[in-house]
Amino acid sequence: MNQLHEYAPFVKRHIGPSETEQKQMLNALGVDSLQALMAQVVPEQIRMTTSLDLPEPLDEPAMLAHMQQLADRNQVFRHYIGQGYYGTHMPNVVLRNVLENPAWYTAYTPYQAEISQGRLEAILNFQTMVAELTGMEIANASLLDEATACAEGMGMAWRMTGQKRSTFLVSEHCHPQTIEVLRTRAKGLGITLVVADDAQLMQADVDCFGVLLQYPHSLGRVCDDRALVESLKARDIAVVCATDLLALNLLTPPGHWGVDIVVGSAQRFGVPLGYGGPHAAFMACRDAHKRHMPGRLVGVSRDATGAPALRLALQTREQHIRREKATSNICTAQVLLAVLAGLYAVWHGPQGLKAIATRVHAFTARLHHALTSLGFEVVNSSYFDTLHIHTGEQTERLRALALKQGINLRYVDAAHVAISLDETVTQADWTQLCALFETLANTQAKQSGDTLDSAIPVALRREGAALTHPIFERICSETDMLRYLRRLADMDLALDRTMIPLGSCTMKLNATVEMIPITWPQFANIHPFAPAEQVQGYAALIEGLSRDLCEITGYDAISLQPNSGAQGEYAGLLAIRAFHEANGQSERNICLIPSSAHGTNPASAHMVGMDVMVVQADAQGNVDVEDLKRCIERADERLGALMITYPSTHGVFEQSIDTICALIHDAGGQVYLDGANMNAMVGLARPGKFGADVSHLNLHKTFCIPHGGGGPGIGPVAVRAHLAPYLPGVVSEQGWCQKSQAVGPVSAAPFGSASILPISYAYIRLMGAQGLRSASEIAVLNANYLAARLGEHYPVLYTGQSGRVAHECILDIRPIKAQTGIDAQDVAKRLMDFGFHAPTMSFPVPDTLMVEPTESENLAELERFIEAMVTIRQEIRAVEAGEVSLEDSIVRQAPHTASMLLTSEWTRPYSREEAAFPVASLRANKYWPPVARIDNAWGDRNLICTCPPLQDDFEEIRS
Ligand SMILES: *Cc1c(COP(=O)(O)O)cnc(C)c1O
């Protein structure tokens, strides 16, 4: 019998072009073989001569069987640990139609708003939900996790108060992992962090610019901090409050007592524990502070016809525009998870959420009653869902009993435990939990009726409905929900409909087989602070993936903790800082960054307290080595690092990379190589071997984790041995950082977004060494084919020495703009009429399009794209020839909606057919953009970032 991998090897499913197509493309390029093409593209001095040492590839059934074996080594316990992570039920209709639906998970960040209206609406629901529950005016579209949201809150408080004072107080009642992540972040920014008790908070002195409170406390108490907040505000101290969205259904929101910033995790709104992530964190603030807010923000604007339309608002705050002056380095966030949490609220509605919260609270109150009747002291008399219990000398016995029954509690110290209840707790769970304590007490607990008083202080009980927007009342039946989800998905273009040729973003296949294991309970229902013995499967997976990634990159050690590429940059730069410090060279704090760098690079350098010095590019787009030498000289003893992207954001393998690395090392600096473009290099060259000291990878680019419409992501940071001691510290089982580590944790969970690691693990094991190398080669082949074919119509801005590009190419629109006024944005919008998502626009060079086809697109799809681009070039000629004005041109008017075209009158200089069906194939397969071109500036001037009223939607917006 044939093995499946013989007649259908996975690699053939992953790679788009067939062997015949590959030959055809090579012929078109005038090259004999892939090897010959690689010889032209990858500089000889860095090219690998051996094959990667990776396990033999598995076929799909074998892969799933292997994943099942790993999964079975994880033990799914009943978790009452809490501490920011709670059991929850994802609504099944959402599980199947969103989390398991490529229309949602393969979408890109909604920069091209016209083709992203569905997910923008879902994010707007999330923002509205957060704003209403927290009682704040404006909420963003998600942050990476609760602890980093607290750190962002600290940074924002600092900016809001003018960066003149330097002490930040964090309440001792915050989650332990939050405090550790704050410590890491504060050190980089030069902020003095003080863990404060209630009295110290009250006495915050003149150097204090902000405080962080937790509500309810990590150990459960619901504390009335209104007087404290009032007193802090009177002293112009910014107040950040971390809170719990479920509790806020019953509690007065912090927004009502004057805090400036509210943060937290939306995990318990339907997103599985996942051994720590991914989950969406949220941040809400007062309207007055919105320009200081980090992360993305969805807002309402209008399109060219005056119809309401959504898009990202206030983008000038972001790193891709403000670079080191940006409000943060957040690029990839947690959009898919925010969508899931927002939909959870839409599904349950205000009554449903309140009922869930009330039930959780009632179970907790009954547990409190039972435990007290058994003689246990419950330390907190007020609570929502968490009890802090004195168990004295019985603690170890309790632990043993609980473990035997498959139960995890939070062991606070030798004499105390904490128990957090959640949505998933059943009567049977409750009885089992209670029985543990009955065994300890050797007696029966007193049963209580169902009418126990609330343990929420009267003054803190929420009055009225927490969610008031009609969107949360509109969905009643599953039929409603199913159609709502379908309607939203249909508005968007994701990889399930078209190639998304976004340069630098590597939108490649996210294979179904890679996705399947992530929702298995043995991966999904594990608490991040579960004891190590219970997570042997995860441990094996993490070890295997770490080993594979080290082999692929040529580095010696890796941390999978960072939740995005930018967080990986941050972690890598922290390692460099700590290394210099350990060598007694803490003055080495200048980071050289080429002018073409991604905006997150300077923003991350800034976050670790480095000063950025820009290195110029030469006429070929390469790092100008002469300028680099001048910069090295100027930085002198303060040279800390060079941060360089390779192959470069200009889409070429620079020949002099080894010289560049040597120059930096000779001057005492370290080389940070941004690994976002690793898709051009896997199996061909290894940064850890050709001169770099540290890199981050984007598992959501090169290693197949889907983009999810703007996250999740994983940005592992890989280092050579000398930097290994400075990888992010791990918050261990009970949340306390191992103090010996030089660098603290960068995110809340020990392994960041652990539950999506199986995707990258599976990809590598399905492809094997040969397959991965082929993927890189075909990515380069596809890019060069596009460059060759499109180069006749749009100049390719940069090529390497041999006239070839790497895995992406930059098409220059500037000559067209100079002649006609038509710019990159016009081309991007016109592509929507062809059913395409635009390439990356105006990065790294203004008015260019950066095209990255990836290895997953076949020749037919490349041809479809070429046809669209060539047709657009022809359309532009009408403007060039003076036949139509710029404003009236088909390109400037794009995209065209059905309602723009299906009118009885038509006065434009082109036909309706040309607008909708510029190429014949569209007649059979047409995507209709749901809105016309969106007016970004109008939306920023009239900022609305929550759902507008449903009826007569936006009448005033039209005016
Ligand atoms: C995508 C990208 C980043 C940032 O990664 P995120 O995961 O979005 O934070 C950094 N550098 C380059 C070159 C990139 O393309």
- Domain assignment present for residue 40? The answer is no
User: What domain range includes position 555?
Assistant: 516-766
**CA–centroid distance, residue 337 to ligand 1 (Å):** 19
Which residue has 């009726």 as its token pair? 449
pLDDT of residue 958: 45
User: Measured from the CB, is residue 332 less than 6 Å from ligand 1?
Assistant: yes
* Residue 885, domain CATH: 3.90.1150.10
**CA–centroid distance, residue 567 to ligand 1 (Å):** 9
User: Measured from the CB, is residue 844 less than 6 Å from ligand 1?
Assistant: no
- Domain assignment present for residue 795? The answer is yes
Q: Do 561 and 746 form a contact (C-beta atoms < 8 A)?
A: yes
**107 and 189 share a domain?**
yes
Which residue has 């229309």 as its token pair? 103
Reply yes or no on whether the pLDDT at 186 is more than 80. Answer: yes
747-780 tens-digit pLDDT? 999 999 999 999 999 999 999 999 999 999 999 9
User: Measured from the CB, is residue 600 less than 6 Å from ligand 1?
Assistant: yes
Greater confidence, 212 or 447?
212
pLDDT of residue 739: 52
**782 and 762 share a domain?**
no
Q: Which of 714, 735, 766 is the last residue of a domain?
A: 766
Which residue has 């499967």 as its token pair? 537
User: Measured from the CB, is residue 565 less than 6 Å from ligand 1?
Assistant: yes
**CA–centroid distance, residue 609 to ligand 1 (Å):** 20
pLDDT of residue 448: 74
pLDDT of residue 934: 97
- Cα angle 864-869-874, degrees, rounded to a multiple of 5: 125
pLDDT of residue 318: 82
Residue 480, Cβ density class (10 Å: 0-12 exposed, 13-18 middle, ≥19 buried) = middle
Q: Do 336 and 119 form a contact (C-beta atoms < 8 A)?
A: no
User: Measured from the CB, is residue 564 less than 6 Å from ligand 1?
Assistant: yes
**918 and 950 share a domain?**
no
- Residue 400 to residues 380, 408, 534, 734, Cα–Cα distance (Å): 24, 10, 14, 16
User: Measured from the CB, is residue 702 less than 6 Å from ligand 1?
Assistant: no
**781 and 685 share a domain?**
no
Q: Whose CA is nearest to atom 3 of ligand 1?
A: 565
644-677 tens-digit pLDDT? 999 999 999 999 999 999 999 999 999 999 999 9
**443 and 556 share a domain?**
no
**480 and 618 share a domain?**
no
pLDDT tier for residue 4 given thresholds of 50, 70 and 90 = low
**CA–centroid distance, residue 678 to ligand 1 (Å):** 11
**453 and 569 share a domain?**
no
pLDDT of residue 231: 96
pLDDT tier for residue 1 given thresholds of 50, 70 and 90 = very low
pLDDT tier for residue 738 given thresholds of 50, 70 and 90 = low
SS3 6: helix
- Inter-axis angle of helices 859-880 and 19-29, nearest 10: 40
User: Over the Cα atoms of the chain, what is R_g?
Assistant: 28
Reply yes or no on whether the pLDDT at 433 is more than 50. Answer: yes
Q: What is the mean pLDDT of residues 211-236?
A: 97
Reply yes or no on whether the pLDDT at 445 is more than 60. Answer: yes
**524 and 386 share a domain?**
no
- Cα angle 499-504-509, degrees, rounded to a multiple of 5: 40
pLDDT tier for residue 827 given thresholds of 50, 70 and 90 = very high
329 CA closest ligand 1 atom index: 9
pLDDT of residue 152: 98
Strand order in the sheet with 281-285: 138-139, 281-285, 261-265, 238-244, 208-215, 167-171, 192-196
Reply yes or no on whether the pLDDT at 6 is more than 80. Answer: no
**474 and 524 share a domain?**
no
Reply yes or no on whether the pLDDT at 549 is more than 80. Answer: yes
568 CA closest ligand 1 atom index: 9
pLDDT tier for residue 3 given thresholds of 50, 70 and 90 = low
**CA–centroid distance, residue 599 to ligand 1 (Å):** 8
Reply yes or no on whether the pLDDT at 808 is more than 50. Answer: yes
**246 and 348 share a domain?**
yes
Reply yes or no on whether the pLDDT at 625 is more than 60. Answer: yes
Reply yes or no on whether the pLDDT at 950 is more than 90. Answer: no
Does the reported pTM lie above 0.95? yes
- Domain assignment present for residue 68? The answer is no
Q: What is the mean pLDDT of residues 946-959?
A: 61
Among positive and negative, which fits the CA dihedral 93, 99, 101, 103? Answer: positive
User: Measured from the CB, is residue 225 less than 6 Å from ligand 1?
Assistant: no
Q: Cα–Cα distance between 924 and 623 in angstroms, integer?
A: 47
**CA–centroid distance, residue 868 to ligand 1 (Å):** 28
Give φ, ψ of 878 to 5 degrees: -60, -35
Q: Cα–Cα distance between 110 and 127 in angstroms, integer?
A: 15
- Domain assignment present for residue 593? The answer is yes
- Cα angle 927-932-933, degrees, rounded to a multiple of 5: 120
Q: Cα–Cα distance between 653 and 155 in angstroms, integer?
A: 37
Reply yes or no on whether the pLDDT at 450 is more than 80. Answer: no
SS3 76: coil
Give φ, ψ of 303 to 5 degrees: -100, -175
Q: Which of 737, 766, 795 is the last residue of a domain?
A: 766
Q: What is the mean pLDDT of residues 104-121?
A: 97
Pocket test for ligand 1, best of 573, 596, 672, 698 (most atoms within 8 A of CB): 698
Among 46, 34, 66, 69, smallest CA distance to 770 is for 34
* Residue 661, domain CATH: 3.40.640.10
Residue 585, Cβ density class (10 Å: 0-12 exposed, 13-18 middle, ≥19 buried) = middle
Alpha helices for 270-409 (secondary structure H): 319-322, 335-373, 395-404
pLDDT tier for residue 959 given thresholds of 50, 70 and 90 = very low
558-611 tens-digit pLDDT? 999 999 999 999 999 999 999 999 999 999 999 999 999 999 999 999 999 999
User: Measured from the CB, is residue 604 less than 6 Å from ligand 1?
Assistant: no
pLDDT tier for residue 951 given thresholds of 50, 70 and 90 = low
Among 762, 674, 651, 700, smallest CA distance to 507 is for 700
- Domain assignment present for residue 738? The answer is yes
Number of structural domains in the chain: 3
**CA–centroid distance, residue 330 to ligand 1 (Å):** 9
Q: Cα–Cα distance between 217 and 860 in angstroms, integer?
A: 58
User: Measured from the CB, is residue 753 less than 6 Å from ligand 1?
Assistant: no
255-287 tens-digit pLDDT? 999 999 999 999 999 999 999 999 999 999 999
* E runs forming strands in 352-401: 377-378, 386-390
Q: Whose CA is nearest to atom 15 of ligand 1?
A: 504
Q: Whose CA is nearest to atom 7 of ligand 1?
A: 565
Q: Which of 766, 787, 810 is the last residue of a domain?
A: 766
Reply yes or no on whether the pLDDT at 803 is more than 50. Answer: yes
User: Measured from the CB, is residue 328 less than 6 Å from ligand 1?
Assistant: no
**How do strand 410-413 and strand 416-420 relate by DSSP bridges?**
antiparallel
**CA–centroid distance, residue 686 to ligand 1 (Å):** 19
**CA–centroid distance, residue 566 to ligand 1 (Å):** 6
791-801 tens-digit pLDDT? 999 999 999 98
User: Measured from the CB, is residue 698 less than 6 Å from ligand 1?
Assistant: yes
User: Measured from the CB, is residue 566 less than 6 Å from ligand 1?
Assistant: yes
Pocket test for ligand 1, best of 143, 319, 331 (most atoms within 8 A of CB): 331
- Domain assignment present for residue 725? The answer is yes
- Domain assignment present for residue 28? The answer is no
Pocket test for ligand 1, best of 504, 747, 840 (most atoms within 8 A of CB): 504
- Interacting residues of 315 by C-beta distance below 8 A, sequence separation 6+: 321, 936
Chain-centroid distance, C-alpha 467: 26
65-82 tens-digit pLDDT? 999 999 999 999 999 999
649 CA closest ligand 1 atom index: 13
pLDDT of residue 669: 98
**208 and 248 share a domain?**
yes
- Domain assignment present for residue 201? The answer is yes
**211 and 331 share a domain?**
yes
pLDDT of residue 324: 78
User: Measured from the CB, is residue 156 less than 6 Å from ligand 1?
Assistant: no
Long-range Cβ pairs for the range 916-919 (8 Å, 24+): 916/833, 918/833, 918/834, 918/868, 918/871, 918/875, 918/890, 919/834, 919/867, 919/868, 919/871
The per-residue pLDDT of the chain, averaged, comes to: 95
Q: Cα–Cα distance between 40 and 617 in angstroms, integer?
A: 22
